[in-house]
């Protein structure tokens, strides 16, 4: 109980600091943190499927794109206000994942990962070639009706709220029947069926929830950047990035994906500003080192009480 109260106090203070943060720093930092919160949202959303059920949806970026495009198109063509368009976009992702999920989630392991990449590429091609998205020309969204400084704050708090919301949902899921169903499925699908778990149903549900929040992130991104085109919002690199964040932080934990997002985004920003020409190389090298020494992520390292012994044990087991 004391432990729990300490945790709540710690996160309360952290949230309080992040609320005050944008009022004391420059717009550069606000923009950087808005990006971190976006990746935090995406990583946490994907963690709901990947962390709890063990399925790796490499093409989850498809929901980022669908969310972005649905939000943009409903604002431009139907004149929806932003927030309604955003909910509409995220819900479209939920429905899409639910429909596609029933056949696709019959696949296991790598085959599921590859199928989601296929879906992502297919939707990217479709959105490049249909009229309603204006194809490769891209889509210019309506301007934000605020002056510059206010709009920086607006997106900072919007992304922040999205990240907190998806984290609360993940926390709730992890402690309830859906969470137990998913963990049982990850550990042992046959065993799960035999104690009455409708395994396809829970996998589809988890994917649809993760799609909803990925789409939410995409919708906010579209309005934030003001311009989207298929290569930028269906970029498989975005998927790779948030999957790395989940793995680095600790899949299946609540705080891990957020830690991963902070670490990767801050690191790539620092590396980029210090080593302009080889920043991807340096970033890659750091990721390789982290994965070798703590393949189960930061949260695992914390639970080992930061013991060096445990780090070396990982390397020995990896037989370097």
Partner 1 sequence: MGALLSIKNVSKYFGGLAANKAISFDIEAGEIIGLIGPNGSGKTTLINVITGNDVADQGSIRFKGHEIVRLKPYIINRLGIARTYQVVQPFIGMSVRENVVAGVLFGRDGKGRKMGVAWERADEVLELCHMQDKRNEMVENLTIADIKRLEIAKAMATDPDLLLLDEGMAGLNPKEIDEALDLATRINKMGMTLLVVEHVMKAVMSISQRVVVLHQGRLMAIGTPEAIAKDEQVIKAYLGEKYSLRQKNRGEVKRL
Residues that bind partner 1 (CB under 8 A): 175-177, 180-181, 183-184, 186-188, 190-199
Q: Which is nearer to partner 1, 147 or 190 (CB)?
A: 190
Q: Which is nearer to partner 1, 183 or 279 (CB)?
A: 183
Q: How far is the CB of 185 from partner 1 (least distance, A)?
A: 9
Q: Which is nearer to partner 1, 77 or 194 (CB)?
A: 194
Q: How far is the CB of 199 from partner 1 (least distance, A)?
A: 7
Q: How far is the CB of 292 from partner 1 (least distance, A)?
A: 23
Q: How far is the CB of 100 from partner 1 (least distance, A)?
A: 21
Q: How far is the CB of 146 from partner 1 (least distance, A)?
A: 43
Q: Which is nearer to partner 1, 60 or 253 (CB)?
A: 253
Q: Which is nearer to partner 1, 7 or 188 (CB)?
A: 188
Distances from the Cα of 65 to the Cαs of 28, 256, 319, in angstroms?
25, 24, 40
Q: Which is nearer to partner 1, 181 or 248 (CB)?
A: 181
Q: How far is the CB of 97 from partner 1 (least distance, A)?
A: 22
């Amino acid at each position: 109980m004391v432990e729990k109260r300490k945790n709540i106090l710690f996160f309360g203070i952290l949230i309080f600091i992040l609320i005050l943060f944008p009022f004391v720093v420059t717009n550069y930092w606000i923009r950087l943190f808005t990006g971190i919160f976006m990746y935090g949202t995406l990583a946490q959303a994907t963690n709901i499927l990947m962390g709890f059920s063990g399925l790796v949806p490499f093409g989850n970026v498809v929901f980022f794109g669908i969310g972005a495009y649905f939000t943009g198109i409903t604002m431009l063509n139907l004149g929806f206000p932003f927030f309604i368009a955003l909910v509409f976009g995220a819900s479209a992702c939920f429905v899409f994942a639910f429909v596609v999920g029933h056949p696709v989630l019959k696949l296991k392991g790598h085959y599921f990962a590859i199928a989601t990449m296929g879906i992502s590429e297919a939707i990217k091609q479709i959105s490049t070639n249909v009229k309603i998205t204006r194809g490769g020309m891209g889509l210019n969204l309506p301007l934000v009706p605020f002056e510059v400084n206010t709009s920086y704050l607006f997106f900072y708090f919007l992304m922040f709220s999205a990240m907190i919301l998806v984290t609360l949902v993940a926390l709730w899921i992890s402690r309830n029947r859906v969470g137990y169903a998913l963990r049982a499925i990850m550990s042992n699908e046959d065993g799960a069926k035999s104690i009455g778990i409708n395994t396809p149903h829970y996998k589809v549900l988890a994917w649809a929830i993760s799609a909803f929040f990925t789409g939410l992130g995409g919708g906010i991104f579209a309005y934030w950047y003001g311009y989207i085109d298929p290569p930028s919002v269906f970029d498989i690199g975005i998927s790779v990035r948030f999957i790395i964040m989940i793995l680095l932080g600790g899949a299946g934990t609540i705080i891990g994906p957020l830690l991963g997002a902070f670490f990767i985004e801050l690191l790539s920003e620092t590396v980029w500003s210090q080593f302009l020409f080889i920043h991807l190389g340096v970033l890659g090298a750091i990721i390789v080192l982290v994965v070798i020494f703590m393949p189960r992520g930061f949260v695992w390292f914390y639970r080992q009480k930061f013991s060096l012994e445990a780090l070396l044990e990982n390397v020995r087991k990896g037989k370097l």
